[in-house]
Structure 1
Amino acid sequence: MDRLHELLPGTWTDDPTLADLAGSVSSALGFGTDRPLPVPDSHTVVVLMVDGLGDVLLQEHSVFAPAMASHRAMAMRVGFPSTTATSLTSLATGLPCAEHGILGYSFAPRDLDPAVEHTLNALRWTLDTADGPPAESVFAPTDVQPMPTAFDELTHAGAGVITLMPELFRGSGLTRAAYGTPADYRDASSPGAVRDQVVDLLAVGDRGPRLIYGYVPNLDAAGHRWGPGTPEWLERLRRIDDVVAAIIAALPPGATLVVTGDHGMITAGRRIDIDTSPVLTEGVRAVAGEARARHVYAEPGRCDEVFARWSSELDGQAHVATRDQVLAEQWFGATAAAHVAERIGDVVAVPGLDTLLTRSLREPMETMMPGHHGGWTVAEILVPFIVATG
């Protein structure tokens, strides 16, 4: 399949998604019966989330990742938008973003701030921009995302849950919104640290039921900085595959490793700059999302004219829809909770193929990045489901 082929909302199926992983892992550990993904019964399940590991990229560069490629079971969809804050919350809650409410890289929580005085950067948990002021006092994580997480529910049910993530993310807004309050959070700030701690934990044998969750951000960072498929990106893919191979070798009987990603990535093509286009800024009070998926919040009473201008200006270059159309076509999930529906832009724009809707003035860092995601091409929205057993 063409790596830039679009998976439009009407083509989405009922096949398992990243949101099905939490329930499948819980069932494999003996809690529940719902198991859409083939995770075998286990006393220990290790879930390794590799940020930026798209299925198309893995297949295109499988020679650099033989361990992951050889244990790839299937591809699955992450949901829309294909971005970290949304996907991690879907993974940890078992819900699409239409229910958990983290609607992208950034969005306006209009249910909490009807005047749209601020947007929320959900990745950094800052106001308006990635380098904006902290947002916790305005948008508390438990207000923005109040649904329970599988991590907390497993802990309450008596399972051991160990979270291996960089110390930088401990207690952050996104960590609290996506994962809840991990009781056993351990610093693992490099792929090697994740490997060493997982191998040590597996060496003690059956201490189940137990979930060991490791998060590796390095591949995504390389894709944003240098671009997917570049030598720098490939070197990080190779290192991560070495980590996966070491964990597979350490799996005892009854333990399972699951590896997946939160999105794929494409290389930037044409850039359309919103900030320098009067046609795209007139009547608009806020623009959120990211270059591959934009929320547009219109000034009161100007939704129709903003939609008309965006549709005309971006004709043939982006899918532009009203909020009502987005809800009817279930872009963010089958049933949007009432408070979540309020957060969707009055207009939502998804550029086609490799086109970007950038913001040179408000998002200079993001505008210059060569690697992007958030849209619904197969290269962005499909991730691998990799599974190995002891």
Structure 2
Amino acid sequence: MSLMLPSSPDTTRSIAGVAPQLLAAVQGGSEMLPAARSVVLVVVDGLGAIPLRAHAGHARTLASAMARKDTIGSAFPTTTASALTTLLTGVAPGVHGLVGYRVRDPQRDVLVNQLTEWDRFGIDPGVWQAAPTVFEQTAASGRPAFAVGIPAYEGSGFSRATLRGADFRSARSPSERVELAWELADAQDGALVYCYLPEVDKAGHKHGVDSADWVAALEDVDAALSRRIPDGVGVLVTADHGMVDVPPHRQLLLDAAGGWHDGVRHIGGEPRMLHVYLEPDADPVAVLTRWRRDLEGFADVVSRTEAIDAGLFGHGVTDAARERIGDVLGIARANAALYDAEDPRGRDMVGQHGALTPEEWRVPFIRLGAFRR
């Protein structure tokens, strides 16, 4: 099956290229970023380039610094577990292994939430996600590395998978986190500082991208980033993915009565990008054909092999990552969402992501401070 994939001709134009560019900047500069005495990577979770431009009047600091071409591509799936790990390792999900939101652990034959269930299932983050993080790479070069986030994330399984090598510091509000990030970068030359701002993503999930709550969250983030940046500090603002609003009439329930569970052992992933794992005795061609027929107009349906061959998970997919990818993938089109009728979680979400629309795929690449052009 042919898929219309987003254009991302090389890693320098995707979030996979961000970490190498930042490392190069503190080592003398790169083709995309000038030299800086220290660098800060600000990730505004869920802030797509298209929604940002549509609400430019509420984000004057970011919008004024964002030229027309200041965007890059996300990773697939466009979900935090996969895309944020790509940002912080510089490798695609097919290499780092976090190939979705909820994926099957082949050894335990259970679905594991890649953000929250590491400890529940006794999964070692250093084994499951073995790619060196940007913080480990920074420390190996003799430079300090910091991660600034909210207190609840300190020591979590996902943090141990993605923030290894960083000195974790916490602060509660966006303004406090940004201020702390600026201070750390100013105090130690050669430092790489990561600053994580999840408020926009949270507001989008609960209320939608066009809601007053989402706009308020964007305004708070923009105000935080308007504070003066110390001399010589380069700041790069980007996101892991964007978001689309899913109205109730675009939600499709996959129930047993409709035959959706025939031959299916687990339905993982998330509503805009399903990983469908089949029973050992299921006919994969029959299931693929049926899903493709019945989801026409709602989703692109591809096999694991088709997805890998199309480069969706990057090039050089590891054996471990391959085993975690569903036998069948359902990638929602437009503003649709696909729900397993046996799993009630998440049906009240308005803003969603995971698929390949431009709203989800294109994210900002905004240069501030010493990086500003």
Q: Which range, TM-score by smaller chain? A: over 0.9
Contact 2:38–2:191 (Cα < 8 Å) also in 1 = yes
Question: What residue is the counterpart of 2:120 in the other structure?
Answer: 135
Contact 2:8–2:14 (Cα < 8 Å) also in 1 = no
1:251-303, Cα deviation, whole Å (9 max, x unpaired): 31x21111111111000030111245541111100111001101100001312
1:150 corresponds to 2:134? yes
Question: What residue is the counterpart of 2:203 in the other structure?
Answer: 222
Moved more, 227-236 or 13-22: 13-22
1:266 corresponds to 2:244? yes
Structure 2 SS opposite 1:9: coil
CA distance in 2, matches of 1:195, 1:374: 27
Q: Does the C-alpha gap of structure 1 residues 18 and 83 become closer, same or farther in structure 2, counting only changes over 3 Å?
A: same
CA distance in 1, matches of 2:182, 2:50: 28
The 5-angstrom pairing of residues 310-389 of structure 1 reads 310-362=291-343, 364-389=344-369
1:11 positional shift: 4.6
5+ residue gaps, structure 2: none
RMSD over equivalenced CA pairs, Å: 1.8
1:6-50, Cα deviation, whole Å (9 max, x unpaired): x9327543361101000000011118x8x46x2211111111111
The equivalent position to 2:34 in structure 1, one of 25, 28, 40, is 40
The 5-angstrom pairing of residues 172-211 of structure 1 reads 172-182=156-166, 184-201=167-184, 204=187, 207-211=188-192
Amino acid at match of 2:183: D
1:101 positional shift: 0.7
CA distance in 1, matches of 2:173, 2:256: 39
1:241 positional shift: 0.3
What is the TM-score of this pair, normalised by structure 1?
A: 0.88
The 5-angstrom pairing of residues 60-99 of structure 1 reads 60-73=54-67, 74-99=70-95
Amino acid at match of 2:300: H
Amino acid at match of 2:4: L
The equivalent position to 2:105 in structure 1, one of 85, 93, 109, is 109
Contact 1:55–1:382 (Cα < 8 Å) also in 2 = yes
1:161 positional shift: 0.9
CA distance in 2, matches of 1:153, 1:20: 14
Q: How many residues align?
A: 362
Contact 2:175–2:223 (Cα < 8 Å) also in 1 = no
Contact 1:9–1:330 (Cα < 8 Å) also in 2 = no
1:311 positional shift: 1.3
1:307 corresponds to 2:288? yes
Contact 1:52–1:262 (Cα < 8 Å) also in 2 = yes
Q: Does the C-alpha gap of structure 1 residues 339 and 201 become closer, same or farther in structure 2, counting only changes over 3 Å?
A: closer
What is the TM-score of this pair, normalised by structure 2?
A: 0.92
Structure 2 SS opposite 1:104: coil
Q: Does the C-alpha gap of structure 1 residues 277 and 95 become closer, same or farther in structure 2, counting only changes over 3 Å?
A: farther
CA distance in 2, matches of 1:316, 1:125: 33
Q: Does the C-alpha gap of structure 1 residues 10 and 153 become closer, same or farther in structure 2, counting only changes over 3 Å?
A: closer
1:44-77, Cα deviation, whole Å (9 max, x unpaired): 1111111111000100000000110111241100
Question: What residue is the counterpart of 1:100 in the other structure?
Answer: 96
1:203 positional shift: 5.2
The equivalent position to 1:28 in structure 2, one of 7, 25, 29, is 25
Q: Does the C-alpha gap of structure 1 residues 187 and 109 become closer, same or farther in structure 2, counting only changes over 3 Å?
A: same
CA distance in 2, matches of 1:320, 1:148: 32
Question: What residue is the counterpart of 1:124 in the other structure?
Answer: 116
CA distance in 2, matches of 1:337, 1:195: 36
1:287-340, Cα deviation, whole Å (9 max, x unpaired): 110011011000013122221221121123210011111111111112211221
5+ residue gaps, structure 1: 1-6, 127-133
1:108-131, Cα deviation, whole Å (9 max, x unpaired): 132xx1xx62011102125xxxxx
Question: What residue is the counterpart of 2:263 in the other structure?
Answer: 283
1:214 positional shift: 0.6
CA distance in 2, matches of 1:203, 1:13: 35
